[in-house]
Amino acid sequence: MSAPTPTVAVLLDTPATELRSPVKELLTIARSLGDVVAVALADPSERVVSEAAAHGAQRLVVVDPGADPALTPVAAEALAAVVREVDADVVLLNATFENKETAALVALLVEAGLVVDARPDGLVEGRLRTSKRVFAGTWDVVSEVVTERAVVTVRANTVVAEPVADPRALEVERLASTPSARATAASLVSRTVHPVSTGSRPALAEAAVVVAGGRGTLGDFAAVEDLADALGAAVGATRDAVDEGWVEHDTQIGQTGVTIAPRVYIGAGISGAPHHRGGMQASSTIITVNTDPEAPIIEISDLAVVGDLADVLPQAAAAVREHLAGRSR
């Protein structure tokens, strides 16, 4: 007799507004592991329901958390209720700060193994195996969860999100959760969201391509921003550039800024201090432009261009636009 197909629960963390790219990636990963149950802590929009189905969700459970899900203990208890209801073997969440806290609490509640910022690689004899890069990208670690359930937070850009050929129509299933006194022991007095102004560019933490500038820009980020716009990329910066007031703190990449793992990272005028490398060294492909051939960042680069960024970046942007224009003809 063959083993039953595992059930994988995926949290849709912004169901009322959109199905963001990192969550589409989660659904893509979940399909490779078993039957996919999408979970929402608020009523999803029609578009979110449609996109969840398009990316492989086979069921959609909307749970009433019974209190404000902005409180992570409330969100965790609601998600744990769904995990028990559908008997999920694996739970996947996008690796935001809030979700990491929620994931830890869910793992405690359902007695699951927890892995943070990892890629689920598959089930080996019923046990989930994951891989992750740690210590500023210097170690690759493979883990195997030995408990019956596994909870994993997954970084953006771990896989390429892909829709299914024949999506299933989803009907909303509803579940209610009653939060414990402990979950509501702290009340939310106020919450102010400070949105990152990226214009038409993707959010830095989720972008598949990032163009970053450092002290070598001398405060002029025009060439960095132009190349980013040509590539449809996010703009990042080093701590030095932020400290100088050249760009906003939201663009800072590093140990006290944003940790990124894009498919392509382009660093211009960046020496590669440990603080910055710790935030970008997990990038799949690293391209750098620097006038100093001995810059530390060149040691970890897949491609290094020794030259003035003021000359190199505009040429690169022009070549990208020419290539894209040729493809559109």
Indicate the residue among 134, 153, 176 that finishes a domain.
Answer: 176
Q: What's the pLDDT at 225?
A: 97
In a domain, 117, yes or no: yes
**Upper half-sphere CA count for residue 260 (Cβ side, 13 Å):** 37
Residues 139 and 223 in one domain: no
In a domain, 19, yes or no: yes
pLDDT at residue 197 greater than cutoff 60: no
Residues 257 and 172 in one domain: no
Indicate the residue among 176, 195, 221 that finishes a domain.
Answer: 176
In a domain, 193, yes or no: no
In a domain, 170, yes or no: yes
Q: Which domain holds residue 61?
A: 7-176
Going by pLDDT thresholds of 50, 70 and 90, the confidence category of residue 328 is: low
Would you give the DSSP letter of residue 252?
A: B
Residues 146 and 233 in one domain: no
Structural domain count, the chain: 2
Residues 30 and 153 in one domain: yes
Residues 280 and 236 in one domain: yes
Sign of CA dihedral 162, 164, 169, 171: negative
pLDDT at residue 8 greater than cutoff 60: yes
Q: Which residues contact 72 (CB under 8 A, 6 or more apart)?
A: 98, 101, 102, 105
pLDDT at residue 233 greater than cutoff 80: yes
pLDDT digits (tens, 9 = 90+) for 39-91: 999 999 999 999 999 999 999 999 999 999 999 999 999 999 999 999 999 99
CATH at residue 257: 3.40.50.1220
Going by pLDDT thresholds of 50, 70 and 90, the confidence category of residue 218 is: very high
Residues 235 and 107 in one domain: no
In a domain, 192, yes or no: no
Residue 203 class from Cβ within 10 Å (0-12 exposed, 13-18 middle, 19+ buried)?
middle
Residues 23 and 96 in one domain: yes
The mean per-residue pLDDT over the stretch 19-39 comes to 96
DSSP string over 106-132: HHHHTT-EEE-S-EEEEEETTEEEEEE
In a domain, 172, yes or no: yes
CATH at residue 80: 3.40.50.620
pLDDT at residue 194 greater than cutoff 90: no
Residues 287 and 141 in one domain: no
In a domain, 266, yes or no: yes
Residues 168 and 216 in one domain: no
Residues 240 and 123 in one domain: no
Residues 159 and 213 in one domain: no
In a domain, 29, yes or no: yes
Residues 110 and 247 in one domain: no
Q: What's the pLDDT at 91?
A: 98
What global pTM score does this model have?
0.85
Going by pLDDT thresholds of 50, 70 and 90, the confidence category of residue 136 is: low
